[in-house]
Amino acid sequence: YTHIYTQNNSSFVSFSILAEVRDKLCSFSPSYEKCNIFSEYGTISFFTGRKALQERQRQQMARGLPKQKPIPGVKQVIVVASGKGGVGKSTTAVNLALGLMANDMSKSVGLLDADVFGPSIPKLMNLKGNPELSDNNRMIPLTNYGVPCMSMGFLVDDVAPIVWRGLMVMSGIEKLLRQVDWGSLDYLVVDMPPGTGDVQLSITQNIPIAGAVIVSTPQDIALLDARRGAEMFKKVNVPVLGLVQNMSVFQCPKCNHETHIFGSDGARQLADTLGVTFLGDIPLHITIRETSDRGQPVVISSPNSPEAAAYRTVASAVVQRLQKVSS
Ligand SMILES: Nc1ncnc2c1ncn2[C@@H]1O[C@H](COP(=O)(O)OP(=O)(O)OP(=O)(O)O)[C@@H](O)[C@H]1O
């Protein structure tokens, strides 16, 4: 989209005037295509279309991407992403962070909830409250289970809907990336918002990322979006550490019968097709859901369970891949 912010509610502006603005814009720049117009609450938006988008990306690449600035004190940033919402990205991010620590207690791990629209880390990590400010005026993360966490959920009322416009989202992200005092961390696990839009791109362009972990269920529709996610990271030169297949098998707690509710091997096959590593399989299990809802992630609350073991396996595969891509 191209957004034009108006001072007044643009529903007072007639569409013929908007069409004139659009046509002027289109004549100024070949990267705008004539397209539909819609307006809401002070914003006029144009669909710029695929051709225009590609042209803009090409121009941006040619101009050079924004300079990435590391997060002070953080050695490696691992982003956890999914193309589609609700596939278990946040649950994986939390248990991955805890799994990284469980595998090697000498490592310090932090968790950043970049899902500014639907922050779930506060609930998953059983954390509440407002961050205090450090001497250098940066926010001090809230800590549980030894993992310092930062989330937009600590900064806004948890029942207030997060209705933000593009620029506000970017400044929120900027706050989370730049104004947090992490101390010293070996790994910062970032729970990304679902999808492959501006927010995700802006994060990848602003900080150096050691690698991306993509979470998908084996279902076709999720895989399609996971593929888009992987392609996006490749395009912006972020190493794809691999794919995690979530909810691949459900084992009936009563009779132990196994059912592949979302399909069985789709993410493994997608990893093969894309030439990326398959990092592991997480079963669909009630313990994972229940412990997440209680704010006691399974890696912490049932460390001897097969589910916790599955997350620790993913964590060691991630570390192996990190070593490989950074060598
Ligand atoms: N392997 C699993 N077994 C059982 N439940 C799971 C599993 N993984 C995730 N869930 C549950 O599925 C729901 C969605 O998970 P989660 O919030 O992690 O997804 P998400 O991809 O981060 O969603 P969103 O896009 O909304 O942020 C949660 O209720 C979570 O407890």
Residue at a domain's end among 63, 86, 104:
63
Question: What distance in Å separates the CA atoms of residue 232 and residue 162, rounded to the nearest whole number?
Answer: 26
**Residue 57 sits in which domain range?**
2-63
Predicted pLDDT of residue 168: 73
- Ligand 1 atom having least distance to the Cα of 246: 1
Q: What is the number of domains present in the chain?
A: 2
Residue 310 sits in the same domain as residue 278: yes
Residue 100: inside a domain, yes or no? Answer: yes
Residue 51 sits in the same domain as residue 92: no
Predicted pLDDT of residue 16: 64
Residue at a domain's end among 63, 84, 108:
63
User: Given the structure tokens 């946040």, which residue do they identify?
Assistant: 90
Sign of the Cα torsion 214, 318, 235, 120 reads positive
Residue 106: inside a domain, yes or no? Answer: yes
Question: What distance in Å separates the CA atoms of residue 55 and residue 30, rounded to the nearest whole number?
Answer: 8
Predicted pLDDT of residue 170: 78
Question: What distance in Å separates the CA atoms of residue 47 and residue 64, rounded to the nearest whole number?
Answer: 24
Question: What distance in Å separates the CA atoms of residue 201 and residue 238, rounded to the nearest whole number?
Answer: 11
Residue 118 sits in the same domain as residue 34: no
Residue 162 sits in the same domain as residue 296: yes
Q: Does pTM surpass 0.90?
A: no
Residue 68: inside a domain, yes or no? Answer: no
Question: What distance in Å separates the CA atoms of residue 160 and residue 98, rounded to the nearest whole number?
Answer: 29
Residue 93 sits in the same domain as residue 197: yes
Question: What distance in Å separates the CA atoms of residue 306 and residue 118, rounded to the nearest whole number?
Answer: 29
Predicted pLDDT of residue 200: 86
- Ligand 1 atom having least distance to the Cα of 82: 21
Residue 139: inside a domain, yes or no? Answer: yes
Query: What is the CA angle 173-102-144, rounded to 5?
Result: 50
Cβ of 284 less than 6 Å from ligand 1: yes
Chain centroid to CA 145: 22
Residue 146: inside a domain, yes or no? Answer: yes
Domain of 227: which CATH number?
3.40.50.300
Question: Of all protein residues, whose CA lies closest to atom 31 belonging to ligand 1?
Answer: 289
Taking the centre of ligand 1 as the mean of its atom positions, its distance from the CA of residue 91, in whole angstroms, is 6
Predicted pLDDT of residue 289: 94
Taking the centre of ligand 1 as the mean of its atom positions, its distance from the CA of residue 207, in whole angstroms, is 26
Residue 194: exposure state from Cβ atoms within 10 A (0-12, 13-18, ≥19)? buried
Residue 189: inside a domain, yes or no? Answer: yes
DSSP element (H, E) containing 320 = helix 306-326
Asked if 259 and 252 count as a contact pair (C-beta separation under 8 A), the reply is: yes
Question: What distance in Å separates the CA atoms of residue 248 and residue 285, rounded to the nearest whole number?
Answer: 10
Best residue for ligand 1 mutational test, from 91, 199, 261, 282 (most atoms within 8 Å of Cβ) = 91
* Tokens coding 289: 């859901």
- The strand order across the sheet containing 43-46 reads 2-5, 43-46, 37-40
Would you say how long the chain is, in residues? 327
**295 closest CA partner among 81, 139, 95:** 95
User: Given the structure tokens 């730049």, which residue do they identify?
Assistant: 178
Residue 141 sits in the same domain as residue 255: yes
State the CB neighbour count (10 A cutoff) for residue 261: 13
Residue 69: inside a domain, yes or no? Answer: no
DSSP H helical segments within 8-149, as ranges?
15-28, 49-63, 89-103, 121-124
Residue 154 sits in the same domain as residue 224: yes
Residue 7 sits in the same domain as residue 142: no
Residue 140 sits in the same domain as residue 232: yes
Taking the centre of ligand 1 as the mean of its atom positions, its distance from the CA of residue 247, in whole angstroms, is 9
Residue at a domain's end among 63, 90, 114:
63
Asked if 55 and 32 count as a contact pair (C-beta separation under 8 A), the reply is: no
Residue 54 sits in the same domain as residue 90: no
Question: What distance in Å separates the CA atoms of residue 247 and residue 284, rounded to the nearest whole number?
Answer: 4
Q: Could you report the average pLDDT of every consecutive run of 10 residues in the chain (327 residues)?
A: 52 61 66 52 52 59 67 96 88 98 96 89 95 92 97 78 67 89 97 84 90 88 79 88 90 80 77 87 93 97 96 97 89
Best residue for ligand 1 mutational test, from 289, 311, 314 (most atoms within 8 Å of Cβ) = 289
From residue 104, alpha-carbon distances to 186, 271, 286 in Å are 11, 27, 27
Cβ of 298 less than 6 Å from ligand 1: no
Residue 174 sits in the same domain as residue 241: yes
Question: What distance in Å separates the CA atoms of residue 192 and residue 100, rounded to the nearest whole number?
Answer: 18
Residue 32 sits in the same domain as residue 115: no
Best residue for ligand 1 mutational test, from 79, 90, 221 (most atoms within 8 Å of Cβ) = 90
- Ligand 1 atom having least distance to the Cα of 94: 18
Residue 118: inside a domain, yes or no? Answer: yes
- Ligand 1 atom having least distance to the Cα of 215: 21
Question: What distance in Å separates the CA atoms of residue 179 and residue 72, rounded to the nearest whole number?
Answer: 10
Predicted pLDDT of residue 236: 85
Taking the centre of ligand 1 as the mean of its atom positions, its distance from the CA of residue 69, in whole angstroms, is 31
